[in-house]
Structure 1
Amino acid sequence: MDFHVDQTLNLADIDYLSVLSAFDEGVIIADQSGRIVFYNEIQSQIDDLEPEFVIGKSVPEVYNLDDNSSLILRCLKSGQPILGELFYYRTCRGKLVNTVNSTFPLKQHNRVAGAICFIKDYNLLDKEISASPAFSPYEGHGHGNGTRFTFSDIIGDDEKFLQSLKEAQLTSGSPSPVMLYGETGTGKEMFAQSIHNHGPRHASRFMGINCAAIPENLLEGLLFGTSKGAFTGAVDKPGLFEQAHGGTLFLDEVDSMPLNLQAKLLRFLQERKIRRVGGGTDINIDVKIISSVSNNPQAALQDGQIRMDLFYRLAVVFIPIPPLRELSNGVELLSRHFIYKYNLVLGKTVMGVSEQVLDIFRRYHWPGNVRELEHLIEGTMNVIEAEDIIRMRHLPRHFLPPEFTVLTEQASGAAAGGRDDAAGASGISHPPIDEFATDGLRKKTTPESLLGRQKAREKELINLALLESGGNVSRAARKLDISRQLLHYKMKKYGLVRGSY
């Protein structure tokens, strides 16, 4: 097979180039300036571009990418590898391409001299996975054991997040109970399913139940099963423990389980036996228990929401999952992933978000975490028209703080009048200061002063709620209609101490 290389760099005599040319993946090599010096035939087929056309051109000349969106240019800048990145791009001739890329810096005398990128066509990869016996479908989607997720589906590069991921992988081979602690939307069920699929029980069933979503009078029968005659209309029916025998049972929001059922769960953990509701026979069960809590477990123990003896048996391995707002680069990384995902689902061609939108994302506290971000991206991409970039005007009004809502309205009006709302991909250009209006009066103000007033008002409302609640955080949170976790976060943010009330 022929290979294509820029002869001026004297790389043609290096033996490894013939190996790269024979790869069944696309390969691109760029020099320190971002100029493409090697481009194999597989990549030519993926892009529908001739090697002779590509060689010698810079990355932005060949692809609709810049320093921030190009993996090669990012790698050259950081000197760090970028592994297994789902990537969506457009060539200079307009072809949209979905790939999985791994990019590595090429160093000479400890200095970055170039970058090499290995590219796998995602559509071909998806077909290979679908044809594999290990990925036989279950109920139309999944791994054939009641799960949809493995560790490869979990995205994040933050140090704290990777530590939690490592602990989850290490514990997957153990029969010991695992408790996952994370706010709503942090991906606790993804972790639970991944632990199951990474361990020796992966061929057996994974069963999960949200203890907070099931009425107390139904939960016991669902978990432990029923015997005929136990109550009017009762039939012999196995519960989730029996159905998960040999596999894994995931108890989501276990701190919402009624105390009488917590006692039955404790008995199982001690004796590895269950008894159906209305039954007289003990049934031996072999199952790995994974549980989760969204609220601080120490607070749940103090409030009597969970038995202490049960907690220590469930939390033999305790894995905290950090919230999205604490993950460095998390919002940017996940935004790219969800844009890629919903491009495929919705048939869109969105390339990314503007710098202004990304700045809002970084400052937002994300009480719904990853789930909230995904739903926001999905909703935005449903209503965006034939555009490549998600801008402020595309975001739902309820998401934007007041000062940005004003900006968006002004920018939308300008766009309707023929003005572009963006300078490149950086987002919305600001209208003149005297265009902002409040209560029908023209006032000179700035986004900063508006934001400052909003923060002051928020602090005032929180302070008032705490005063009226005598410092009881739970009651104050209910008054404000926010979660306890969010109220704790805002109290810390504004320097409000519970003991002062």
Structure 2
Amino acid sequence: MDYKNILKLISENLYCGIFIVDNEGRVIFYNQSINDLAGLNVENAVGKHMLEIFPKLTEETSTILRTLKTGEGLKNYVQNYYNYQDKRVTILSSTVPIYEDGHLVGVVEIFSDVDKYNNMNQTKSSKGFMENTVYTLNDIIGNSKEKKELKEKIKKTANSNSPVLVYGETGTGKELVVQCLHSESTRRNKPFIAQNCAAIPSTLFESILFGTALGSFTGAKDSKGLIESAEGGTLFLDEINSMDITLQAKLLRFLQEGHIRRLGENKSHEVDVRVIAALNEDPYEAIEAGTLRKDLFYRLSVINFSLPPLRENKKDIIEISNYFLEFFNSKLNKNIKGFSDEVLEFFKSYDWPGNVRELKHSIEYAVNITESNTISKSDLPDYFKLKNKKTNADVKMTDDLLTDDSSSLLTLSEQVGQFERKVIINALKQYDCNISKTSKKLGLPRQTLYYKMDKLNIKMDKTLD
């Protein structure tokens, strides 16, 4: 029996595509089913490098080249790309490294056409995967030193049972990191339960978190709480500083002992769950404000992730923007090729107070609104123009301060102090008296900002005058 011919016969009659490259990324084999998807034929594919065939891909966005680089496979990965004939396609793929004697010699990728299955009404499971998938490390976009260090830290700490605290401004990707910690761990096939602490009234939170025993109050039934429901898996408590201080003490007790007692129950029992918490402000500031217990902070932050705002880490902003463009091209059935140079420069100069979430929603708006195949600055949300007007007004105010006749009666030191006071007050107003955000905006340590506020007689009240 000729097994080589049998394998060839099987590969040519499969509905899924098979693509194989060598260790340099050059195509050595693909089957017939790949023709429609990739827009290829044997003459213009075999022997060519992946980036010659798919020029819009990069070493980061190509699953095959990424696997060649890392030696790690990918399973059930949804991706969108433009094929050799510049047609946008959506595929569900699995990418597997090929080893010989311990050396990586190539990669095989097997994939199916999601759009084709949708048309045949056969993609219930594929759609379920795309809509409900937990984030993985592949969803952390960027190749900067900081992103690589973040991914490495997630890998190192994913299998620990220690609590985790993630903090960063709104829109910096806290839940992305949390879900990656779960999906990279041995708990990945167990429950992942996320709860925003600000969304539950404090009077109900204890019963929701710890569960209830029959008869503990009128109408109460035996019911599992969030902690028990996450047995064997991960419980994510977002905005932990919104949880009532008294309840924080009870959560701390569970973290220390690993046992819970349902509301109205006399006995306690052990629960195996990893707790990850997050907050969108400096934890020390939350402690000072009395919204986070210091002892709970120390227990949660055995492992901690501090996520920088986008304005402080713009190295990956172009790659992230292109990722979101492809995402919304697929979601909104568009075929937009890219961004104008003016838009890319604007993205790199803008301070992004809403961080990656603001960038994502801005691109979604632009993809919806544009009538061109390239996004221009006129396609961006209107509030960017309003913010630009405000910036110009601030510049004019600064100029007015410098040319104010009354300042001529003051010494240089007094004029500098007056100007510095106005700058600090404006920054405090912009960030609603949030010291952490204001200090970052001004490029000052928090202690220095407090010192200057005291020296310049700036009081933390609503008037700020």
Contact 1:135 1:142 in 2 (8 A): no
Letter in 2 for 1:48: G
Corresponding residue to 1:25 among 19, 25, 28: 19
* Distance in 2 of aligned mates of 1:296 and 1:383: 37
Letter in 2 for 1:180: V
Displacement after TM superposition at 1:50 (Å): 4.6
> Match of 2:438?
487
> Match of 1:276?
262
* Distance in 1 of aligned mates of 2:112 and 2:433: 41
Letter in 2 for 1:491: L
Corresponding residue to 2:280 among 281, 294, 311: 294
Displacement after TM superposition at 1:119 (Å): 8.1
Please give the secondary structure, in 1, of the residue aligned with 2:276.
strand
Letter in 1 for 2:332: L
Contact 1:250 1:291 in 2 (8 A): yes
Displacement after TM superposition at 1:491 (Å): 2.1
Q: What are the equivalent positions in structure 2 for 1:225-374 lying under 5 Å apart? A: 225-374=211-360
Letter in 2 for 1:388: N
Letter in 1 for 2:438: L
Corresponding residue to 1:142 among 92, 107, 132: 132
* Distance in 2 of aligned mates of 1:30 and 1:284: 52
Letter in 1 for 2:382: R
> Match of 1:96?
88
Displacement after TM superposition at 1:328 (Å): 4.0
Please give the secondary structure, in 2, of the residue aligned with 1:245.
coil
Contact 2:168 2:280 in 1 (8 A): yes
Corresponding residue to 1:123 among 113, 118, 124: 113
Displacement after TM superposition at 1:53 (Å): 6.6
> Match of 1:499?
451
Displacement after TM superposition at 1:70 (Å): 6.0
Displacement after TM superposition at 1:348 (Å): 0.4
* Distance in 2 of aligned mates of 1:394 and 1:286: 50
* Distance in 1 of aligned mates of 2:434 and 2:188: 35
Q: 1:390 to 1:274 in 2, by over 3 A?
A: same
Please give the secondary structure, in 1, of the residue aligned with 2:383.
coil
1:362-397 CA distance string (max 9 Å, x none): 111112222111111112212223x22111111111
1:80-129 CA distance string (max 9 Å, x none): x98899663365x5533457999xxxxxxxxxxxxx999876736998xx
Letter in 2 for 1:123: D
Q: Which runs of 5+ in 2 are unaligned?
A: 1-16, 63-67, 96-105, 402-416, 457-465
> Match of 2:166?
180
1:206-236 CA distance string (max 9 Å, x none): 1111112222112222111123443444333
Please give the secondary structure, in 2, of the residue aligned with 1:179.
strand
* Distance in 2 of aligned mates of 1:398 and 1:383: 15
Please give the secondary structure, in 2, of the residue aligned with 1:180.
strand
> Match of 2:10?
none
Q: What are the equivalent positions in structure 2 for 1:445-484 lying under 5 Å apart? A: 454-455=394-395, 457=397, 477=428, 481=432
> Match of 1:17?
none
Contact 2:27 2:50 in 1 (8 A): no
> Match of 1:156?
142
Q: 1:274 to 1:371 in 2, by over 3 A?
A: same
* Distance in 2 of aligned mates of 1:286 and 1:38: 47
Contact 1:39 1:51 in 2 (8 A): no
Please give the secondary structure, in 2, of the residue aligned with 1:276.
coil
* Distance in 2 of aligned mates of 1:266 and 1:177: 11
Letter in 1 for 2:299: R
Contact 1:227 1:236 in 2 (8 A): yes
* Distance in 2 of aligned mates of 1:274 and 1:325: 42
Q: 1:162 to 1:286 in 2, by over 3 A?
A: same
Sequence identity of aligned pairs in percent? Answer: 34
* Distance in 2 of aligned mates of 1:465 and 1:382: 43
Q: 1:197 to 1:206 in 2, by over 3 A?
A: same
Contact 1:101 1:117 in 2 (8 A): no
Contact 1:87 1:101 in 2 (8 A): no
Residues 1:171 and 2:157 are matched in the alignment: yes
Q: 1:351 to 1:479 in 2, by over 3 A?
A: closer
Please give the secondary structure, in 2, of the residue aligned with 1:249.
strand
Query: Over the residues paired in the alignment, what is the CA RMSD in angstroms?
Result: 4.7
Please give the secondary structure, in 2, of the residue aligned with 1:174.
coil
* Distance in 2 of aligned mates of 1:86 and 1:381: 18
* Distance in 2 of aligned mates of 1:101 and 1:273: 40
Q: 1:124 to 1:302 in 2, by over 3 A?
A: same
* Distance in 1 of aligned mates of 2:218 and 2:422: 48
Q: What are the equivalent positions in structure 2 for 1:401-440 lying under 5 Å apart? A: none
> Match of 2:39?
48
Contact 2:343 2:377 in 1 (8 A): yes
TM-score (norm 2): 0.69
